[in-house]
Amino acid sequence: MCCGPMRLSDAIRSVFTEELMDAVNEFVRTSPLNAVPANSVLQTGLDGARLIDDCVFAFGDASDPLFEVQKQPQAVGPQFMAPMEWLPEALSVISFFAPFSETVKASNREIDGFPSGAWLHGRIDGQRVVFAACEFIVDWLKQRGFKAVVPSLDPRFKAVDDIRDEEGQIILEKSFRSNWSERHVAYVCGLGTFALSRGIITEKGISGRVGTIVTNAPLAFTKRPYEGLYDYCNRCGACAKHCPVNAISVEGGKQQIPCWVFLEQTKRTVAPPYFGCGKCQAGVPCESRIPARD
């Protein structure tokens, strides 16, 4: 398919979008990357275990004004690059959630303070699957005459240590922010809402990884099925109880520094590049679904 973007009817956009989703899931199901690698198994019995299940998708309008809102300090910040800054002719933003397999999730449900080997494979090797899926989407779109960019793999992507105002004064130290945010973009696209633990809760839960792509392909946009930033989080506090370093509280949300310190610690105790935790994302009501509200 290579007709000009504006000539595609809504029906063709929908079919094209469905074809894309099917192709990505077929890629994920059959990719040799979607398995614990034999040469770095962290835990007996995990060799070849599946990491990622079928993905769920949302498609945003690249000109949605909510992308500009992400430049506000209380959102991603002024360093955030909107879709058309990554790709001037952008029409759509693809956001997908790659849920961890049951093997990965079940392994990390125990509240024992230490991340399971399978979870660490999910976080690190599973992320490779997500990046490969992003690159697959770019190629798939290019073969059909469209352009696409993966901001988090683009040379312009950068993490920002400090956030400064226009005069260069530091507004926020150790910001944990960058010029693109998979989570905020997922929210704008309609994929899910924020969690107390700061992840994104989707229809397949919070346990998994998110990928995003900006393209000039005219895809069928998702109608955001929520209004508030935290609509899918029921504030049950289970994530706070699971956190080994008390980084989360129902009243105060998540504190990034203690979480970061703990993740750094796991870098030293597990074979690099493996590190992680995810105790706040496994065995909680939002692990694999949108949690019920009382």
CB of 230 to ligand SF4, least distance (A): 8
The answer to whether 77 touches 163, Cβ cutoff 8 Å, is yes
Give residue 198's Cα distance to chain centre.
11
- Element containing residue 140 per DSSP (H, E): helix 117-143
Binding site for ligand SF4 (CB under 6 A): 195-197, 233-239, 242-245, 247-248, 254, 259, 262, 277-280, 284-286, 291
CB neighbours of residue 264 within 10 Å: 10
Of the two residues 20 and 247, which places its CB atom closer to ligand SF4 in the complex? Answer: 247
Of the two residues 149 and 247, which places its CB atom closer to ligand SF4 in the complex? Answer: 247
CB of 224 to ligand SF4, least distance (A): 19
CA nearest neighbour of 174 among 243, 260, 246: 260
Of the two residues 109 and 235, which places its CB atom closer to ligand SF4 in the complex? Answer: 235
How far apart are alpha carbons 210 and 285 in whole angstroms? 19
Query: What's the burial of 2, exposed, middle or buried (CB within 10 Å: 0-12/13-18/19+)?
Result: exposed
Tokens of 162: 């400090």
CB of 231 to ligand SF4, least distance (A): 11
